Amino acid sequence: MVYSNLPCLNIVPKRFNIAVMLFMACLMSYMMRVNLSINIIAMVENTDANSTEVLPDYGPRYNWSQSDQAMLLGAFFYGYMITSLPAGMLAENFGGKAVAGYSCLLAGVLTALTPLAASWDKWAVWAIRFGIGFLTGVVYPCCHNLVSKWAPPDEKGKFVASLMGGTFGTVITWPISGVIIENMGWDWAFYMVGIFVAIVCAAWFIVVDDSPAQHTTISISEREYIEKSLGETVSNKKRYPPYKSLLVSMPFWSLLFLHYGSMWGLFFLITATPKFLSEVLGFNLSSAGFLSSLPHLARLICAFGFGAVADWIRRKNWLTVTKMRKVFCLPSHVIPGLFLVVLAFFGKDPYVCVAIMTISLAFNGAATASNLQNSQDLAPNYAGTLYGIINCVGTTPGIFSPMIVAAFTKENNTIEQWHYIFLIGAAAYILPAIVFWIFGSGKIQKWNELDTSSSKEEIINTKL
C-alpha cells in the first residue's frame, strides 16, 4: 500500500499492520479449510476395484468410498454456514479481534487432533471438520468489520485484497502438504498447520485492535485521518442489524447472488482440483499439490492488481461506485465462466487444463472490486453482518460441488464426466453477473443508519 502522501507520523502506518494481520488471519483459516482436500488422497485406500496399483505408505489408509470422501470434504462447510450468519453481529457487538482470534486458536487445536479422530472413525473426522468450519465461519465477517473501521474509502480495494490471504493459504498449503506427506506422513500435514495457527494467533492478539480509537500506539494524525475519511458512515454504537430492510433490498439480493457465483467457482476448485489432477490427469501428490495451487496464486496476484485499479478509479472519480462494481463483474465472473466453458470442450491435455484453470481463477481476483467489496458500499455500519449473510449462502457450493463431482464420477472418473461439471461451474459464474448488472448498486443504503434524517442523508449523498 502507498501512504507517502498522507499526513501520518508513523513510518509504517498502523493500518498497514492491521491489513497484514487480516491477510494472515484469512491465510490460516484457509490452511485449516483446504488441507483435507489433498491430505485425504493419502488417507484413503484405492476405491477402484479393478486397479492393481500399490499405493505409497504415507500412514494408515481407510476404506472411505467416494461418497464418504465427499461427505468429509463437505463437513467443514456445514459448520461454516452456521456461524457465518451471526458472525457480523458478534463482531459489531463484541469486537472482531476477540471473536476471530479465539475462534481460530480453537480451530487450530481441532486441526491437530484430526489424525486421532481418523484412527477412531470417519464420523469423528466429520465432527472435527464440522467444528473447524463452525469456528472459522466468523473470520471473514470479522475481517470485514475491521476493514469498515480501519480502511479509508479510497484504500478499501487494497484492504479487501488483503483478505486474499485465504487464497495464499491455499497456494502454500497444497504444495507444502504434498511435500510433508511424502516425507513425514499425512498426520504431520495436520500437525504443522496447528502449530502455525498458534503462532499467528499470538501475533494477532498483539497487533490488532478493533478500531483506531482503541489502538494504543497509533499516531494522532493517522487516527484522525482515518476517522475523518470515514465521516459519519461508520458508527461505534452497538445496534441490531436491519434484517427487515435487507429482505426487501434488491441491491443486497443481487450482491448475495453475485457472491454465490464467485464462491461456487472458488470452492469447486478448492475441493476438486487436487482430486482432478491426481486421479484424472495422473499427477503425483507433490505435483498435484503444486499445480493445484497455481490458479490460487494467480488469483492472489491479480486480486491486489484489480483492487489497486479500483482504488485509483475511485480517487480519480472516473466512474460512480455502482458503475465500477458492475464493470468489474466482467473480469470477476463472466470471463472466468467463459474459460470454464473452454475447459469443458478443449481441456484434454493435462497442462492445458492447468493453464485454463489458472487463467480463469486469475480473472476472478477482480472479485476484490465487485462482490467482495460491495458490502462495504451498501452499509459500512453492517459490513460484517452483510458479508456474514452472503458468505453463509455462499458456503453452500462447498457442500454441493463435492456431491456433484461424486455423482458424475461415481461410475467412471474420466475427463468426459468432468465436462459437465465444468459447464455447471460456468453457468454459476455468469448468471449472477447478469442479475447484478440489472439490480446491483454501489450506493450507501438508507438502512445503514438508524437515524434517516435529512442531515444524515445529505452527508451520505455527498460521499457518493
For 111-140, the pLDDT digits (tens) are 999 999 999 999 999 999 999 999 999 998
d(CA 335, CA 271): 21
Residue carrying the nine cell digits 485521518: 225
Q: What is the DSSP secondary structure assignment for residue 368, as one 8-state letter?
A: G
Mean pLDDT of 380-397: 83
The packing angle between helices 66-94 and 14-43, to 10°, is 160
Q: Is the pLDDT of residue 232 over 70?
A: no
Q: In whole numbers, what is the pLDDT of the chain averaged over residues?
A: 82
Question: Span 390-419, mean pLDDT?
Answer: 75
Q: Is the pLDDT of residue 7 over 60?
A: no
Phi, then psi, of 233 in degrees rounded to 5: -75, -20
CB-neighbour burial class of residue 228 (10 A; exposed 0-12, middle 13-18, buried 19+): exposed
Apex CA 158: angle with CA 243 and CA 237, to 5°?
35
- Lowest mean pLDDT across 13-27, 37-51, 113-127, 160-174: 37-51
Q: What is the pLDDT of residue 414?
A: 65
In this predicted structure, what is the pLDDT of residue 101?
Answer: 94
Rounded to whole angstroms, how far apart are CA atoms 15 and 2?
12
Sorting pLDDT into bands at 50, 70 and 90, what band is 1?
very low
Q: Is 199 in contact with 63 (CB distance < 8 Å)?
A: no
249: three-class secondary structure by DSSP: coil
Where would I find the beta strands (DSSP E) of 316-400?
Answer: none
For the cut 70, the answer to whether the pLDDT of residue 236 exceeds it is: no
- Among 271, 331, 327, smallest CA distance to 302 is for 331
- Residue 400 CA to residue 390 CA, distance in Å, equals 16
Specify the range with the lowest mean pLDDT, choosing from 13-17, 79-83, 212-216, 399-403. 399-403
What's the confidence (pLDDT) of residue 8? 41
The pLDDT assigned to 5 comes to: 40
The b-or-e profile of 259-298 (16+ CB within 10 A means b, else e) is bbbbbbbbbbbbbbbbbbbbbbbebebbbbbbbbbbbbbb
pLDDT band at 462 (very low <50, low <70, confident <90, very high): very low
Taking residues 234-261, report their average pLDDT: 83
Quick check: 169 and 28 in contact, CB under 8 A? yes
Q: Residues with Cβ < 8 Å from 377, sequence gap 6 or more?
A: 321, 325, 441, 442, 443, 444
For residue 332, pLDDT beyond 50: yes
**Residue 328: is its pLDDT beyond 70?**
yes
Residues 365-381 pLDDT 10s: 899 888 888 888 888 88
Confidence grade of residue 239 (pLDDT, cut at 50, 70, 90): low
Amino acid, res. 437? W
DSSP string, 81-149: HHHHHHHHHHHHHH-HHHHHHHHHHHHHHHHHTHHHHHHH-HHHHHHHHHHHHHHHTTHHHHHHHHHHH
What pLDDT, on a 0 to 100 scale, did the predictor assign at position 267? 75
**What domains can you pick out in the chain, each with its CATH number?**
13-47+60-228 (1.20.1250.20), 241-450 (1.20.1250.20)
Q: What average pLDDT does this structure show over 247-266? A: 90
Q: How many CB atoms lie within 10 A of CB 367?
A: 33
The rounded percent of the chain whose pLDDT value lies above 90 is 27
Higher pLDDT, residue 421 or 256: 256
Q: Give the pLDDT confidence of 164-195 residue by residue, as tens digits.
A: 888 788 778 878 888 899 899 999 999 999 99
Confidence class for position 246, pLDDT limits 50, 70, 90 = confident
User: pTM (2 decimals)?
Assistant: 0.72
pLDDT of 463 strictly over 50? no
pLDDT in tens, 137-170: 999 889 988 988 888 877 887 788 888 888 788 7
